Amino acid sequence: MGSPDALWLYLVTASTPPAEALDGLTGVGGSAVTQVSCGSLTAIVELVSLADFGAEPLRQHLEDLSWLEATARAHHRVIDAVARTAPVVPMRLATVYSTGDLLTGMLTDRAPSFLAVLARLQGRVELGVKAIVSHESAPAEPVAAGRPAGGEAGAGAGRAYLNRRRNEREAREQSRQRARMEARDIHAVLSVLAAGSRLHPPQSPELTGRPEAMVLNAAYLLGAADVETFAGEVGQLRHQHPDLRLELTGPWPPYSFAELDDEVA
């Protein structure tokens, strides 16, 4: 651990967070988070050391899953705590400034964009909806049951086994195709209820640790007052799509909707 010589940026907000929101809150480097004010904006930052959070150390750390997990959770903990008190624009993980001047220069230059995004996000939260195929044809029977035993019955049994495997594969592909169409319908219904929506790539089975296919991984931006209605609609959709498992997550700070307008151009 080196001496603190850089700033890890968590979020930008237009209001001064209440002291109790930051009280006792530690960040990715284990230090207390603090605020940097600049005009009408406030940045929530932590003093970190470039020895740990400089470009090259970060590059190496990001390959380490346990480091990534601890850092992602700490980054989120700070953003979540402040987002409960005021609209915030969350930063992507690993946004580090080597001097305070660079940070305040950026805040000054992009203040209009930050204020526009903050106005758009005011009073809104993000909900996540994932759809996972729940009734998929089971994986093939244990091979022993159908494996050709050899001898003259072997060829016929072998063909039957291969046919069965092919039919299972086709059935599984058809059911996934159906599931993907249902997911499109679900997304269309939910998008109408939301102020914004964004599709994330479906999570791979390697990451979820579950073999079932994910066919929808979406984020929706909702007014706080619309959350209950939205959750109720997800409940309805569960009944209409019994072959899918719908998982609702959140409310999240609006990570998926934090985009400065001047980035789009």
Partner 1 sequence: MTSASEITWHDSDFDPRGTDRLALVDLLDRVLAGGVVLAGEVTLSVADVELVTISLRALITSASTLLNQGTDTPRPGP
Shortest distance, position 31 Cβ to partner 1, whole Å:
16
- Of residues 144-173, which lie at the interface with partner 1 (CB under 8 A)? 172
Nearest residue (CB) to partner 1, 153 versus 203: 203
Which residue in 14, 33, 44, 96 binds partner 1 (CB under 8 A)? 96
Nearest residue (CB) to partner 1, 63 versus 152: 63
Cβ neighbours of residue 76 under 8 Å, at least 6 residues apart?
Answer: 253
SS3 label, residue 202: coil
By CB under 8 A, residue 100 contacts partner 1:
no
By CB under 8 A, residue 68 contacts partner 1:
yes
By CB under 8 A, residue 40 contacts partner 1:
no
Cα 98 to Cα 47: distance, rounded to the nearest angstrom: 10
Distance of CA 52 to the CA centre of its chain: 25
By CB under 8 A, residue 258 contacts partner 1:
yes
Q: How many residues bind partner 1 (CB under 8 A)?
A: 78
Closest CA to 197 of 119, 124, 98: 124
By CB under 8 A, residue 196 contacts partner 1:
no
Shortest distance, position 102 Cβ to partner 1, whole Å:
6
Which residue in 13, 97, 215, 216 binds partner 1 (CB under 8 A)? 97
By CB under 8 A, residue 178 contacts partner 1:
no
Residue with tokens 């959750």: 231
By CB under 8 A, residue 38 contacts partner 1:
no
Shortest distance, position 232 Cβ to partner 1, whole Å:
8
- Give the sheet arrangement for strand 124-133, strand by strand: 196-199, 214-223, 124-133, 244-252
By CB under 8 A, residue 263 contacts partner 1:
yes
Shortest distance, position 152 Cβ to partner 1, whole Å:
28
Q: Which residues of 143-156 are buried (b: 16+ CB within 10 A; e: fewer)?
A: eeebeeeeeeeeee
Cβ proximity of 9 and 26 under 8 Å: no
Which residue in 20, 69, 170, 185 binds partner 1 (CB under 8 A)? 69
Q: How big is the CA angle at 213 (ends 207 and 214), to the nearest 5 degrees?
A: 75
Cα 3 to Cα 52: distance, rounded to the nearest angstrom: 10
By CB under 8 A, residue 243 contacts partner 1:
no
